[in-house]
Amino acid sequence: MNNPDCLFCGIVAGEVPSEKVAETDLAMAFRDINPQAPTHVLVIPKRHSPTLTELAGAHPDAAVGVLTLAHQVATDEGVAGGYRLVCNNGARAQQSVFHAHAHVLGGRDFAWPPG
Ligand code: 5GP
Ligand code: ZN
């Protein structure tokens, strides 16, 4: 389950420090180190998978666990009325950490289309 070369596996294991905001059996949520909005929380599966879409194919319960925890975080942060849920899927979409994650962004207005 744990990939020794993966930053977010290190966060799940507690070997890399993070500001954790929530956790379930399947997923963990912590604040992004470089926030792009007043609320910017990363929600990750505890199980390693490079992308959320690959996780959904192999372990759908874990992928649903990420989405469920993302909405719980948005509720707890007071932004459930309107927030951006972002999955950068692949290098061309600016994914930089290849352990599946969803960004929960809230607390400001957002533009569309995204950059
Ligand atoms: P991606 O670009 O892969 O969609 O998102 C990766 C996110 O992880 C970025 O928003 C980046 O700021 C965040 N990040 C990178 N390294 C760390 C870290 O060590 N701790 C935390 N909390 N966030 C990180
Ligand atoms: Zn990992």
Query: pLDDT, tens digit, for every residue of 4-13?
Result: 999 999 999 9
Say what the pLDDT of residue 115 is: 82
Q: How confident is the model at residue 2 (pLDDT cuts 50, 70, 90)?
A: confident
Query: pLDDT, tens digit, for every residue of 21-73?
Result: 999 999 999 999 999 999 999 999 999 999 999 999 999 999 999 999 999 99
Higher-confidence position of 53 and 1: 53
Is pLDDT above 70 for 1? no
Query: pLDDT, tens digit, for every residue of 64-111?
Result: 999 999 999 999 999 999 999 999 999 999 999 999 999 999 999 999
What residue spans define the domains of the chain?
A: 7-106
pTM of the predicted model over 0.95: yes
Q: Are 85 and 104 in contact (CB under 8 A)?
A: yes
Instruction: Please tell me if the CB atom of residue 34 comes closer than 6 angstroms to any atom of ligand 1.
Output: yes
Q: Residue 44 C-alpha to ligand 2 middle, in angstroms? A: 9
- Distance CA(79)–CA(38), nearest Å, equals 10
Q: Which ligand is nearest to the CA of 50?
A: 2
Architecture field, domain 7-106: 2-Layer Sandwich (3.30)
Report the atom number in ligand 1 closest to the C-alpha of 34. Answer: 12
Per DSSP, the three-state class of 109 is: coil
Query: What is the arrangement of strands in the sheet containing 102-106, beginning at the earlier edge strand?
Result: 20-23, 27-31, 39-45, 102-106, 84-86
What residues are labeled active site? 101
Cis status, amide bond into 113, omega within 30 of 0: yes
